[in-house]
Amino acid sequence: MLVNTLALLRMAERGEFAIGAFNVYNLEGALAVVQAAEAAASPVMLQIMGGSTKRVGRPLAALCLEAASSASMPMAVHLDHCSSRDEIEGWLEAGLKSVMADGSDLDYEANVEFTRDIAKTVHYNDGVVEAELGRLTGEEDGLTIPDYESKLTDPARAADFVERTGADVLDVCIGNVHGRYRSDPRLDFERLEAIERTVTAPLALHGGSGLDDDSVRRCIELGVRKINVNTELRTAYVRSLAESVSAGDQPEFVDVMDRAVAAMRDVVAGKLRLFGSSGG
């Protein structure tokens, strides 16, 4: 069943678990997430990457909305990382009610202004806004300590940012990165704890692929209620396709797709168990 993103996150707060937010790019990805969630009796989020308007646009939005609406478990559909007002408005017109307004590459005041402006539009459409304070990079290596720390969420500004922007969900940067970690992740749990004490909005953590299980559990204990997973799903999909093609004989196309769904479904199922949402 299709539900409001905040309803899912409040459910996670009450149950002290995290909602898995999985990026999908096609029907197979959506099927994998829905099937895993239903098998685990878990709420979940389907995410569409910002910037994909020209490639997929409304058809992918319609696909995800229908998949969530038809599912037996509570599900939300969310637009991930979008820094374009025009694109966000387009996705709202396509039926999405949950978006991430990403102004993290702007300076603080510009980020506040951008996020506040988007929040007004999204709230007018009865939607939910996630925003990022700090700057999540694609890797953590090659940065000086001051440069690295400057990208992390400032606990002293977190409450001010949420209050001034009207953001409903805050994406925190505590040493997590997008994509694969090139060295052992160095998550700043003290920073996360300080943020959680000052902010009433649910916290989101991006870069969930590649974090060790203990770090994930600790983040959930400290208030993270939404965890994004993208890279591991894509890797499972591509690896499954490569194995099907390299098997030798011309594979039956439907079988190829079914195996890809199964590979991604296994990843989702493992994350739902780790996040503590299974059976909830």
Query: Which tens digits make up the pLDDT trace of 154-185?
Result: 999 999 999 999 999 999 999 876 555 455 56
Active site residues: 80
The pLDDT value given to residue 69: 98
DSSP state of 246: T
140 — pLDDT class (breaks 50, 70, 90): very low
pLDDT at 273 over 80: yes
DSSP E strands in the chain: the ranges are 19-23, 44-49, 75-82, 98-101, 128-133, 169-172, 203-205, 224-229
Mean pLDDT within 88-101: 94
The pLDDT value given to residue 142: 44
Q: Report how far apart, in Å, the C-alpha atoms of 56 and of each of 51, 69, 102, 230 are.
A: 10, 20, 20, 17
- Greater model confidence, 207 or 92: 92
The pLDDT value given to residue 144: 40
The pLDDT value given to residue 180: 54
Sign of CA dihedral 26, 31, 32, 34: positive
137 — pLDDT class (breaks 50, 70, 90): low
**What domains appear along the chain, each with residue ranges and CATH number?**
5-275 (3.20.20.70)
* Residue pLDDT, tens place only, 232-269: 999 999 999 999 888 666 778 899 999 999 999 999 99
